[in-house]
Structure 1
Amino acid sequence: MTATGADREAAGPTTRGYWWWERRRGVALDVGLALVSALECALEGVQFAGDTGLPVPLAVLFGLIAGSVLVLRRRWPIAVVLVSIATTPAEMGFLMGIVGLYTLAASEVPRRITVVLTGMTLVGTFIVSYVRLRQSVDADVDFGPGVWYVPVVSLFMSLGLTAPSVLFGLYIGARRRLMESLRERADSLERELSLLADRAEERAEWARTEERTRIAREMHDVVAHRVSLMVVHAAALQAVAPKDPAKAVRNAALVGDMGRQALTELREMLGVLRSGDALVAPEAGRVPLASVGRVAAVAAAVVVEDGPRLREVEVLVAQSREAGMTVELSVEGELRPYAPEVEQTAYRVVQEALTNVHKHAAGAKTWVRLAHRGAEVAMQVENGPTDGVTADAGLPSGGNGLVGMRERVLGLGGVFVSGPTDAGGFRVSAVLPDAQGA
């Protein structure tokens, strides 16, 4: 299982408390290298003592101390390289020089310092090699190479002891920085993906909420008006049945027609919901944003395409008249086709306003006005005060009718105003822009 960036940050380095080392294997490696380097310098100190006449114990002690400096290579690589340069005339610390240059090149030390110390090491090694090789050539009378031999061999020896470790250190340092950069980018992408997932979840929740609100609004518009008229007709049927059987039969037929219409609209809406459930059925747990969007799109398209139109307002007004309401309909301008969502919203505003009159102002005279203007359609439903004679049908009110109308109108960029009139009635006004003409 791959560790994430958060896991790495939480876990931290493998080991803490070993001074500047982060891992136990780093401690073991550096201590081992320092021991080998100290042993090497101690053995070379014996030869150095023989060449210079120093006491052997002192030379060995010097070699042990100088070689053990390699244990500091991770913390102070410059100091390690300087010590190796200082011991070059004594022909000590070859391992310390190689490892020190590698560590220096792989570290974050400024490149100009690396170049200077590498040059110093190269020059020091070249001088020592040249002197020793010249002494050997002069001592061997039988061996007579050309003038070029000593400097060329000395140069190759100094390059062989310096260049490979520096180049390998530069490669390892670049690779290490590249891996760190890739790790940081991976952590950054991981955080961004997490943020995007959170935002997608928020958008999905918002889409679900919006869809629930829209479905609730559609259910309210479909059910409230039809059922309100059915209740009004049922009350009228109860009142006129003993006196006028023929009218009672007509009212009963109207109640049946309205019930069938309400059931038809509810069945269509439930069919839309079932199709949406089929779309999201494979995701039983979390609903993806794309699935929610498809559900909303399908539901909205079906409802808009199969929804009512402005030309059906006359039928709506006639149904209210048949329920006993006095309604006057006036139309300004010539009826023309609008965008389906505009026509449906305009119809629903008039429908809900008439439903509210049935609920709250039984027997009040009502005026429905439609105006077809250049780039908009306006509608207004106004009722006067209740006559106080018509019995209240006792219809419940959830208080969501005006809220739903406002949401519909504002969602299309229109204007919605509602409130009581000076005459004691109530007025609902809305203006919708013509989406096709815009």
Structure 2
Amino acid sequence: MTTTGADRDAGGVARWWWWGRRRSAVLDVALALVSALECAAEGVGFAEKGAMPVPVGVVFGLLVGSVLLVRRRWPIVVVLVSIAVAPAEMGFLMGIVGLYSLAASEVPRRITAVLAGMSTLAVFVVTFVQMRQDVARVDGGPPDIDPSGWYVPSIALFVTLGLNAPPVLFGLYVGARRRLMESLRERADSLEQELSLLADRAEQRAQWARQEERTRIAREMHDVVAHRVSLMVVHAAALQAVALKDPQKAVKNAALVGDMGRQALTELREMLGVLREGTAPVAPAVVPLAAVGRAAAAAAEAAADDDGPRLDALEGLCEQSRLAGATVELVVIGESRGYGPDVERTAYRVVQEALTNVHKHAAGAEVVVRLAHRDAEVAMQVENGPSDAAVADVGLPSGGNGLVGMRERVVRLGGAFVSGPTEAGGFKVSAVLPAGRHRAP
């Protein structure tokens, strides 16, 4: 289970008011304490110049310096306070830290530029006035340097830029870097969410593939085994009926039962062999179940394409039903030609399952199998009349999935499937398949 940025924010340390981390709160408290002490010390001189009590100046300095405590929440307030107390020559640390906090914050750049310009102007004026007074007063005598020249403005400008430019530039760099990291973190979170969605979809596809593979295997097992086993049961019932009356016919039926049993076992062994070959002998932790299922499905389909039944085997299929005592007529309309292996296999299985249903539910009924070759499609129909009441029911079990399996096979190839009772009391199964890819002669 992945952890996104929202989870990290929710599960992080408790927020101390507007501080995200405890060390940030400790740093701001320390800076505010240092700034308060500095402003308190500078408040003594301010009180003397302003002819006010010294304690008032000290308290005023403490209050002004403690404003630095809110630099992360309200950096504009810190910068404005530093500009306001600049004429009193106090709050230099607060001004430097405030400019840095302002430049690194999410305050619009226009406001940052205006406040930085105001702070620069205030510092420049205060520095210029102070230096002009210092230069003009040397032991009460004439000045060594002419204060009206370029010296004082140049030095004042140099000192102002030295105090204001580094914190602003460094704050801009830190703010840009922070925004870049947040952008990268958001992109990483979005990628994690996309990967989680992809993993869920892959799991759904794998589950669907496993279900589809189970259905396909069950359908193949039903088609391969059910028909021959049904014929075996029919022959066994006939064998039981004629065992005492006609020993020769009983021997013939017994031989047919043995042949069909061997054929069923051979087909079942071939299918299981294909599934076994489709799974490579690797560690289960290395290859997922879905990959094994897809490999088995691909191998089974490939083997079915090569060795699966064809339309030319319909006559033999009908002959097996005739040997079981059913009356089956095969009618072929049109010129026979080769189709794709999936089309021929599906057509064969439809006829096979329809004949199996006749043996199960309409024993003794007459059956007509029609196969029509058309330009772009091949059609097949298996129709039986009403069952012969004189024929004993052999008691073949029915799973109820025969018609469903036929419909799934036909629809999967883009064909049409119809089944239902006839007016004469029988049952009819019809299917139409697109010609698809022709098989090479």
- Whole-angstrom CA distance in 2 between matches of 1:93 and 1:323: 110
After superposition, the Cα gap between the structure-2 partners of 1:85 and 1:200, relative to the gap in structure 1 and judged at 3 Å, is same
User: Secondary structure, in 3 states, of the residue corresponding to 2:370?
Assistant: strand
Out of 132-141 and 335-344, give the one that drifted further.
132-141
State whether residues 35 and 68 of structure 1, in contact with CA within 8 Å, keep that contact through their aligned partners in structure 2: yes
Verify the 8 A CA contact 1:200 1:289 in the aligned structure 2: no
Q: Please give the residue correspondences for 1:194-213 in structure 2 after superposition, counting only pairs within 5 Å.
A: 194-213=196-215
Partner of 1:343 in structure 2? Answer: 344
Partner of 2:379: 378
Report what 1:138 is aligned to: 136
Aligned-partner residue type, residue 46 of structure 2: F
- 1:125 corresponds to which letter in structure 2? V
- Contact kept in structure 2, 1:41 and 1:64, CA below 8 Å: yes
For 1:363, what is the secondary structure of its paired residue? coil
Q: Distance in 1 between matches of 2:225 and 2:3?
A: 55
The residue type paired with residue 67 of structure 1 is: G
| Corresponding letter in the other structure for 2:296 | V
- 2:185 equivalent to 1:183: yes
Range with greater deviation from structure 2 (237-246 or 72-81): 237-246
Other-structure match for 2:297 = 296
Equivalent residue letter for 2:211? T
The one of 228, 231, 234 equivalent to 1:232 is 234
SS in 2 for 1:278: coil
Deviating beyond 6 angstroms after TM superposition, the runs of 4 or more aligned structure 1 residues are none
CA offsets per residue over residues 250-271 of structure 1, 9 Å max, x none? 3222222211111111001111
How far did 1:9 drift? 4.4
Q: What residue identity is the alignment partner of 1:32?
A: A
Alignment-mate amino acid for residue 191 of structure 1: Q
Between the aligned partners of 2:5 and 2:73, the Cα distance in structure 1 is: 26
Deviations for 1:272-291, whole angstroms, at most 9, x for unmatched residues? 22224436x52359935444
Taking a change above 3 Å as real, the CA distance of residues 6 and 252 of structure 1, as seen in their structure-2 partners, is farther
**CA contact under 8 A between 1:39 and 1:64: conserved in structure 2?**
yes
- Alpha-carbon separation, structure 2, partners of 1:107 and 1:238: 97
Give 2:411's aligned residue. Answer: 410
CA shift, 1:396, in A, is 0.9
Match of 2:29 among 3, 22, 31: 31
Mapped partners of 1:27, 1:44: distance in 2: 25
Is contact 1:235–1:393 with CA below 8 Å preserved after alignment?
Answer: yes
Map of 2:422 onto structure 1: 421
- Opposite residue 5 of structure 1, the aligned amino acid is G
Write the distance in 2 (CA, Å) between the matches of 1:289 and 1:139.
92
For 2:327 and 2:174, locate their aligned partners in 1 and report how far apart those are by CA, in whole Å.
Answer: 92
Task: For residue 368 of structure 1, give the secondary structure of its aligned residue in structure 2.
Answer: strand
Query: 1:143-292 maps to which residues of 2 (within 5 A)?
Result: 143=145, 147-278=149-280, 282-284=283-285, 287-292=288-293
Compared with structure 1, are the counterparts of its residues 224 and 2 closer, same or farther at alpha carbon in structure 2 (3 Å cutoff)? closer
* Contact persistence 1:5–1:190 (CA under 8 A): no
Give, in whole Å, the separation in 2 of the partners of 1:5 and 1:21: 18
- What residue in structure 1 maps to residue 86 of structure 2? 88
Match of 2:364 in 1: 363
Match of 2:47 among 30, 46, 49: 49
Q: What residue number does 1:327 align with?
A: 328
Rounded Cα–Cα distance in structure 1 between residues aligned with 2:9 and 2:51: 57
TM-score (norm 2): 0.93
Q: Which moved more, 1:396-405 or 1:298-307?
A: 298-307
Q: Could you tell me which residue of structure 2 aligns to residue 394 of structure 1?
A: 395
- How much has 1:194 moved relative to structure 2? 1.3
CA-to-aligned-CA distance 1:174-221 (integer Å, 9 cap, x gap): 111111122222222112211111111111111111100110011011
1:360-418 superposed Cα distances (whole Å, 9 cap, x missing partner): 11111000000010111000000001121222221111111111101111111110000
Q: Distance in 1 between matches of 2:200 and 2:17?
A: 41
1:284-330 deviation line (CA, Å, top 9, x unaligned): 59935444322322222222322111110111001111111101100
2:2 and 2:297 map into 1 onto residues whose CA distance is 37
Q: Partner residue of 1:59?
A: 57
Q: Distance in 2 between matches of 1:291 and 1:162?
A: 68
Most deviating of 1-10 and 333-342: 1-10
Return the alpha-carbon distance in structure 2 between the equivalents of residues 176 and 292 of structure 1. Answer: 48
Question: Contact (CA 8 Å) 2:136, 2:147: kept in 1 or not?
Answer: no
Cα distance in 1 for residues equivalent to 2:394 and 2:5: 66
TM-score, length-scaled by structure 1 = 0.94
Deviates more, 1:287-296 or 1:319-328: 287-296
C-alpha distance in 2, partners of 1:289/1:166? 58
SS of equivalent to 1:329: strand
**Cα shift at 1:23:** 2.3
Contact 2:28 2:69 in 1 (8 A): yes
- Compared with structure 1, are the counterparts of its residues 143 and 10 closer, same or farther at alpha carbon in structure 2 (3 Å cutoff)? closer
Alignment partners' CA distance in 1, 2:271 and 2:296: 13
Paired position in structure 2 for 1:5 = 5
Change in 2 beyond 3 A, CA 1:2/1:309 = closer
SS of the aligned residue for 2:280 comes to helix
Query: What is the root-mean-square deviation of aligned Cα atoms in Å?
Result: 2.1
CA pair 107-142 structure 1, distance change in 2 beyond 3 A: same
Residue 169 of structure 1: how far off its partner (Å):
1.0
In the alignment, the residues of structure 1 paired with residue 59 and residue 23 of structure 2 have an alpha-carbon distance, to the nearest angstrom, of 28
Q: Say if 1:4 and 1:339 are closer, same or farther in 2 by CA, change over 3 A.
A: same
Matched, 1:123 2:121: yes
For 1:309 and 1:73, the matched residues in 2 are separated by: 85
How many corresponding residue pairs?
A: 435
Q: For 1:117, give the aligned amino acid.
A: L
